[in-house]
Amino acid sequence: MAFVANMSPLSWFISLVDVAIVSYGVYRLFLLVRGTRAVQLIKGIVLLLLAVPVSNWLRLSATHMVLKDIQTMLIVALPIVFQPELRRALEQLGQGRFFSETLQGRFFSDTLLSHEEVDINRMIDEVARAADRLSRSRTGALIVLERQTGLGEYIATGTPIDAVVSSALLENIFVPNTPLHDGACIIRGDRVVAAAAFLPLTDSAQPGSELGSRHRAAIGISEQSDAISVAVSEETGWVSVAAEGRLYRRLEDRALREMLARYLKTRPHTPLRLWHRGTQS
């Protein structure tokens, strides 16, 4: 207390500036990871860090030892786990945009909707109707429905749309030989937030598989997040859904609606048994 009382006005000012810089830096880092899958990773890390003192307090010696070892390994693993976010932060810092609010950042933050604010039934109806029409015309399409895991890093690779979901909009996005038809359309809540987005391709498909890049991307994003992907094949017109790293193929309109409803109206990672899985694409 004596040290604080003896601080000069200049020292007070420098301390306030120091705290303000650190606080704003933390705030910008929060904006950087908001809406990405890094949020879920951070939650897991926080739980792990809390489990270490709890296990010690409960005198769980073996559990505490294992958790301590995992905690040590995190020091090496964190740069690898958060490589996309760290790379994006360094890029923004080099471009002078880290300490400025970008238009894209505001756009994607403002369109982040809670699960309860969305009319799930209407959104499912529009997506299913669009998939049916695209299937009949054999127009290739890839529609990704965001759930709890943010897809901000993939949304940023596409063209911002920010429009209410409708079957007419989705059909027009995937008209062949137009600027937005190549890539994925991503839906957050009841809005189409981006089109022509790039997604990670799965490595799980065996060599020689007949799956094209569209279906591999549908599986890939479902492996990297809890998102649901609807893919329409331009060769056969068949509709497929990718969820939890699995591809359910050749779905009729009713089966598609039931699957989307069961996934989107339940909590993520709820065990789900589905009966309709085809063998061809």
Burial of 118 (0-12, 13-18, 19+ CB in 10 A): middle
- Please give the Cα distance from 130 to 171 (Å, whole number): 6
pTM: 0.63
Query: pLDDT digit string (tens) for 40-60?
Result: 677 777 788 788 888 888 888
SS3 content of the chain, % helix, strand, coil (to 5): 50, 15, 35
Are 185 and 198 in contact by the 8 Å Cβ rule? The answer is no
Query: pLDDT digit string (tens) for 186-219?
Result: 999 889 999 999 998 887 754 445 678 899 999 9
Query: Could you give the 3-state DSSP secondary structure of residue 187?
Result: strand
Check residue 242 and give its pLDDT. 93
Chain mean pLDDT for the chain = 77
- Partners of 164 in the β-ladder: 191
Check residue 138 and give its pLDDT. 92
Superfamily of domain 115-264: DNA integrity scanning protein, DisA, N-terminal domain (3.40.1700.10)
- Please give the Cα distance from 196 to 183 (Å, whole number): 4
Are 236 and 210 in contact by the 8 Å Cβ rule? The answer is no
- Please give the Cα distance from 227 to 197 (Å, whole number): 14
Check residue 123 and give its pLDDT. 92
Are 238 and 231 in contact by the 8 Å Cβ rule? The answer is no
**Domain residue spans of the chain:** 2-100, 115-264
